[in-house]
Amino acid sequence: MTSPPPLCEFRSVCKWYGPVIGLNDVSLRIDAGITGLVGHNGAGKSTLIKLLTGQLRPSLGSVRIRGHRAWSSAAKRHIGYCPDLDAMYEEMSGRAFVEALARLHGYSRREARERTDCQLARVGMADRATRPLRTYSKGMRQRIKLAQALVHDPDLVVLDEPLNGVDPVGRTELLQLFRGLADQGKAVLVSSHILDEMDTLADQIVFVCRGRLIASGSLAEIRAMLDRFPLKIRVTAPDARRLAHALLPLELVRSVELASPDELVLEVERATEFFPHFNSIVARDGFDPERLEVLDASTEAVFEYLMRTVTHPW
């Protein structure tokens, strides 16, 4: 029995803008769940998204959605796109805008209206959708863009900075919505500069830098790959100063800071090797640590370390 084609697949993709390389030899699969796309401005995120949504064609390689070339109409039926920039008919109401796009997907007037009502309710805009788009706040515009991206029930939802301008309550609501889409088996790609949200939101994270894919996988998987990634650990213990003296001779310990009489902060290399040594010292010398907390195993910390590694490999 032949297995179905992957939802989204980049195969050795390069994109050039004249002499400028926008994306360089990227191979990537995006499956059901939430994928976070992380990179500084100019890293290649926008190029990747435009290739994925069929706005650009690769110079080399292929981008396929359900086996179809990404720029084909067959592929675009599977994609919902919420762009970062606004491109709206400002005199239209939010409802009319979403319904018009539903009609462009080929739905009858009645079905387009029903689908529009459903998605406006889903994004929290059902009671505000009759106002002209020009009167909307940034957060309201983001919700309308999200509604039009979902109106045709796509398998892949591409969200470019979807939380820009959204207030904290709305941010929580939309994050729950993204998780709900993933729980339904959809693939959700979220490009965002708010890295700390990726820690709890994303099932996998894609890091790009200078047009290259420098790492992909779950945060834990990427973290495990970085064998020499310095990790900061806070230890709370009654005799923190004596514990610090016992740990300093370890080659894996880069630094020890005594934050208070009962708290110290360690910076260690190769954490998987360090923890067994730590346990041995605690057991041997009779220390009684009350708490051990990893401080920087976050998306932002991993990303900054990756960036330093790429830009200064020595």
Name the packing angle between helices 94-104 and 138-150 (round to 10°): 20
Q: What is the pLDDT, as a whole number, of residue 1?
A: 55
pLDDT digits (tens, 9 = 90+) for 121-151: 999 999 999 999 999 998 999 999 999 999 9
Structure tokens given for 312:
């200064």
* pLDDT score at 314: 46
pLDDT band for position 28 (cuts 50, 70, 90): very high
Lowest mean pLDDT segment, chosen from 100-114, 121-135, 188-202, 235-249: 188-202
Give the per-residue pLDDT at 293: 83
Overall size of the chain counted in residues: 314
Residues 262-289, mean pLDDT to the nearest whole number? 87
85-105 pLDDT, tens per residue? 888 889 999 999 999 999 999
* CB hemisphere CA count around 189 (13 angstroms): 30
pLDDT of residue 2: 59
pLDDT at 99: 97
Query: What is the layout of strands, in order, in the sheet containing 8-17?
Result: 20-30, 8-17, 60-65, 68-69
Q: What is the pLDDT at residue 117?
A: 96
Task: List, as own/partner pairs, every contact residues 18-21 make where C-beta atoms lie below 8 angstroms and the sequence separation is at least 24, other chains included.
Answer: 21/211
pLDDT at 164: 82
The pLDDT tens digits for 197-234 are 787 889 999 988 889 898 888 877 876 766 667 788 89
User: Rounded to whole angstroms, how far apart are CA atoms 15 and 24?
Assistant: 7
What pLDDT score does 247 carry?
92
Reply yes or no on whether the pLDDT at 53 is more than 90: yes
269 Cβ contact list (under 8 Å, min separation 6): 228, 229, 230, 231, 252, 254
The percent of residues above 70 in pLDDT, for the chain, comes to 91
- pTM confidence score: 0.78
